[in-house]
Chain A
């Protein structure tokens, strides 16, 4: 027993001290970390559904990700924001899709998390004019989105893949199609009932 204490007192003491240190760091930083994550999500929602000031979480049967009903300052509905997650080229891609109040048209798309190849696949997260994500506003949410390599057909529900990053482009379209496939019926129904 003495030998045990003699050999291990330092480790036990260090373990206890470090536990206190870690608890301290956790307490002082976790609020900020959570704030960062929420801020990133809220900024994304504001970007895909313009005019949004407040959001309400909605539960959609058969869809386990977050869906938000977006409202402006007067409580008037601005649209829907849907979280989508799926596998990209390197790791999971997390994004937010914005829909109009009637859930018929896409109003925007923003990728929140991705570690796709820098310079190629990570262009899915680029912002501004002529970017990949800018092709989504205006597309129909009631039909599947197709990815093409050339110039997209105006009449079709098409987007053009990023050169050299077909897998990442396809992944984004697939995430959007899957998410919309699960939520569009119910959103259209709720939107028609409450959106007016």
Chain B
């Protein structure tokens, strides 16, 4: 990310070669906890994108006025405010999903991805660069959560449900699927298994790419 030269590269870095979850291994707690369905991943991702964008923008805007030794305090203050707003918005507009996410939305406050982006990028970059970085990392986080969620939900529940009210759902017939369900996939061990395998695949791909490039 130090050698990213344009805003677009900064944005893409968050999506792929610097993906916060699959490459930097940040934010493992929410990743493991809420990746049991694609819908949870999407809503959690949206909340994180919102908080990340607001935190990066405010940090970048004030970067010349923030005293170095109180910067963490300012980051936390900013993040906590927008997490609270996001939590209330979820309860007001996607009530059912917010019940499932439970305490993991308020816990975005201590999500290390957000504080990391403020510290690494926003505190010393322009507004545009910070925004590009927030969107890249936020969407990268959401993508990782959705990939894990989709794998776990398919194997464990036999289909995908995205916002049932909008009719976006597809499921195998439960009667045929249920005897073969890998229920463990939607339970906590499934999170570790899936995350390990996906990170393994990503590492394999990166190692191969690095070799090919050299």
A residues near B, CB below 8 A? 7-8, 10-11, 14-15, 18, 21-22, 25-26, 29-30, 32-33, 36-37, 40, 91, 113, 115, 117-120, 164
Main secondary structure of the interface of B (DSSP, over half): helix
B93: A residues at CB distance < 8 A: 32
A-contacting 9-mer, from B5-13, B83-91, B134-142, B199-207? B83-91
A-B pairs with beta carbons under 8 A, tally: 65
When distances are taken between beta carbons in the complex, the residues of chain A under 8 Å from B183 are 117, 119-120, 164
Instruction: Report how far A21 CA is from B82 CA in the complex, Å.
Output: 9
A29 with B65: CB separation less than 8 A? no
Q: For this complex, into which size category does the number of interface residues on chain B fall?
A: 20 to 34
Smallest beta-carbon distance A67→chain B, Å: 23
Among B77, B92, B181, B187, point to the contact of A18 (Cβ < 8 A): B77
Query: In the assembly, what is the distance between CA of A8 and CA of B66, in Å?
Result: 10
Collect the chain B residues with CB atoms within 8 Å of residue A36's CB: 91-92, 95
Asked if residues A14 and B77 are in contact (CB atoms below 8 Å), the reply is yes
List which B45-85 residues lie within 8 A (CB) of chain A.
62, 65-67, 70, 73-74, 77-78, 81, 84-85
Q: A10 to B69, alpha carbons, bound, how many Å?
A: 13
Which residue from chain A places its CB closest to the CB of B85 in the assembled complex?
A25
- Please give the distance in Å from A94's CB to the nearest CB on chain B: 10
* Distance of A25 Cα from B84 Cα, bound (Å): 9
- Whether B99 pairs with A29 at a CB distance below 8 angstroms is no
Rank and list the top 6 A-B pairs by shortest CB-CB distance, nearest first.
A32-B92, A18-B81, A36-B95, A29-B92, A29-B88, A25-B85
**Which residues of the partner chain B approach A37 to less than 8 Å between Cβ atoms?**
95
Q: Does B20 contact A (CB under 8 A)?
A: no
Residues of B within 8 A of A (CB): 36-37, 62, 65-67, 70, 73-74, 77-78, 81, 84-85, 88-89, 91-93, 95, 99-100, 102, 156-157, 181, 183, 186-187
CA distance A49 to B81 in the complex (A): 42
Q: With CB as the reference atom, state the residue of chain A lying closest to B100.
A: A115
Given A7-B70, A14-B78, A118 and B91 touching (CB < 8 A)? no
Q: Is the CB of B186 within 8 A of A21?
A: no
Evaluate contact between B102 and A115: CB separation under 8 angstroms. yes
List the A side residues contacting B187 at CB < 8 Å. 117
- Is B70 a contact of A119 with CB atoms below 8 Å? no
Q: How far is the CA of A182 from the CA of B164 in the complex (A)?
A: 37
- Residues in A with CB closer than 8 Å to B92 are 29, 32-33, 36
Complex alpha-carbon distance, A32 and B89, angstroms: 9
Residue in B closest to A113 when the chains form the complex, CB atoms: B99
B43 CB to nearest A CB, Å: 15
Q: Chain B contacts of A113 at CB under 8 A?
A: 99
Least Cβ distance of B175 to chain A in Å? 10
**Given that A115-B100, A118-B186 are known contacts, is A26 also in contact with B91, CB under 8 Å in the complex?**
no
Complex Cα spacing A91 to B102, Å: 10
Query: For the complex, what is the distance from the CA of A36 to the CA of B88, rounded to whole Å?
Result: 12
> How far, in angstroms, from A173 to B33 measured CA to CA in the complex?
28
**For the complex, what is the distance from the CA of A25 to the CA of B77, rounded to whole Å?**
16
State how many angstroms separate the Cβ of B196 from the closest Cβ of chain A. Answer: 20
In the complex, A164→B156 CA distance in Å?
A: 14
Whether B88 pairs with A25 at a CB distance below 8 angstroms is yes
Do residues B65 and A10 form an inter-chain contact, with CB atoms below 8 A?
A: yes
User: Within the complex, which residue of A29, A115, A117, A120 is in contact with B89, where a contact is CB–CB below 8 Å?
Assistant: A29
24 contacts between A and B (CB under 8 A): A7-B67, A7-B70, A10-B65, A10-B74, A11-B70, A11-B73, A11-B74, A15-B77, A18-B77, A21-B81, A21-B85, A25-B84, A26-B88, A29-B88, A29-B89, A29-B91, A32-B92, A33-B88, A36-B91, A37-B95, A113-B99, A118-B156, A119-B156, A120-B183
